[in-house]
Amino acid sequence: MSEGGGADLYAALAPIYDDWQASDGMTPFALVTAARLAPVLEREAAAPAPLPRPFSFLEIGCGTGTLLGALRAAQPTWRLAGADASAAMLGVAAGKPGLRRVALARARLEQPLPFARGFDVAGVFYDTLNHLADPPALARAFAALSDVLRPGGLLVFDVTNLLGFERWWRGRNEFSGRRWRISVDARFDPTSRLGRAEVTIAGEERARSFHLIERYLSSADIRGGLTSAGFTVERTEGWAPFTNDVEGKTWWVARLGPKS
Ligand SMILES: C[S@@+](CC[C@H](N)C(=O)[O-])C[C@H]1O[C@@H](n2cnc3c(N)ncnc32)[C@H](O)[C@@H]1O
């Protein structure tokens, strides 16, 4: 990888990402997430808030914008925004008619985010946090998120947990669509806590391979980062996003305390 966060990989994946996510009868992960997230957001939107409406939500690692599109369709009056490290993934999002009124920005999570403070809720989903290099980068990411939320705002995210790395990051998986093939050869090393995958993408051009690294983040790493950024954990629980599969994700909800 020439940049962090799998930038080259996501540049190559972007044009086929939505097709891949819906291939072989799969429900795109972003829609599985949207179904779990919607009631959380609806509760927050209904609660008394110190700031004038509209209710606002920011997703970091929004990729091709599928989750934001589902929210926009269900909640036309909410203020929605998204950011991602990959220009190519954002380019796909920006081309979707349903996302015309969604502010999109290119940004890396572990750096200050290009949004003013004031969002009611921020979300980070589908392994985005597992892409970060180490616990200090995670702590910087939580600090950046705390800077864009209003005091009392909510942070919701999922991470792949140990069970998920052991179950999903092993062996080869193949996916194919009408004009593309993706193969993922993955392994997880519990000592270094790193998942490594060779992702090969074949389309109309020659096949290209990319090396993706994701990190298992322990609950202690996550709690430590949240606390130092001023968050209080409200909820943490195992989540099985796929039917008849393990709770390989952990779903976290944390609230930002008042700024000192
Ligand atoms: C597995 S994809 C998930 C995309 C989308 N959330 C979904 O559910 O389809 C992970 C996304 O995180 C983005 N990403 C990786 N590292 C990032 C970082 N440090 N800051 C912001 N985005 C990042 C990638 O560009 C990619 O779009």
Same domain, yes or no, for 58 and 106?
A: yes
Rounded to the nearest angstrom, the distance between the alpha carbon of 124 and the centre of ligand 1 is 8
**Ligand 1 pocket test: which of 131, 134, 157 has the largest number of ligand atoms within 8 Å of its C-beta?**
131
pLDDT tens digits for 125-148? 999 999 999 999 999 999 999 999
Identify the CA nearest to 220 among candidates 167, 161, 164, 163: 161
Same domain, yes or no, for 16 and 61?
A: yes
Q: Is the pTM of this model over 0.85?
A: yes
Task: Give yes or no for residue 5 CB within 6 A of ligand 1.
Answer: yes
**Domain total in the chain:** 2
Determine which residue's CA is closest to atom 15 belonging to ligand 1: 5
Same domain, yes or no, for 227 and 191?
A: no
Same domain, yes or no, for 56 and 136?
A: yes
What span, in angstroms and rounded, lies between the C-alpha atoms of 251 and 254? Answer: 10
The type of residue at 104 is L
Same domain, yes or no, for 145 and 174?
A: no
Same domain, yes or no, for 24 and 144?
A: yes
Instruction: Assess whether pLDDT exceeds 60 at residue 226.
Output: yes
End-to-end CA distance of the chain: 39
Which tokens belong to 4? 């962090």
Task: Give yes or no for residue 86 CB within 6 A of ligand 1.
Answer: yes
Q: Which residue has the tokens 């093939």?
A: 181
Please give the residue range of the domain that contains residue 201: 166-212
The CATH number of whichever domain residue 154 belongs to comes to 3.40.50.150
Backbone angles phi, psi at 105, to 5 degrees: -140, 150
Same domain, yes or no, for 148 and 32?
A: yes
pLDDT tens digits for 156-176? 999 999 999 999 999 999 999
Rounded to the nearest angstrom, the distance between the alpha carbon of 93 and the centre of ligand 1 is 12
Same domain, yes or no, for 85 and 127?
A: yes
Contact 63, 17 (CB under 8 A): yes
Same domain, yes or no, for 83 and 129?
A: yes
Q: Which whole number is the average pLDDT over 12-23?
A: 96
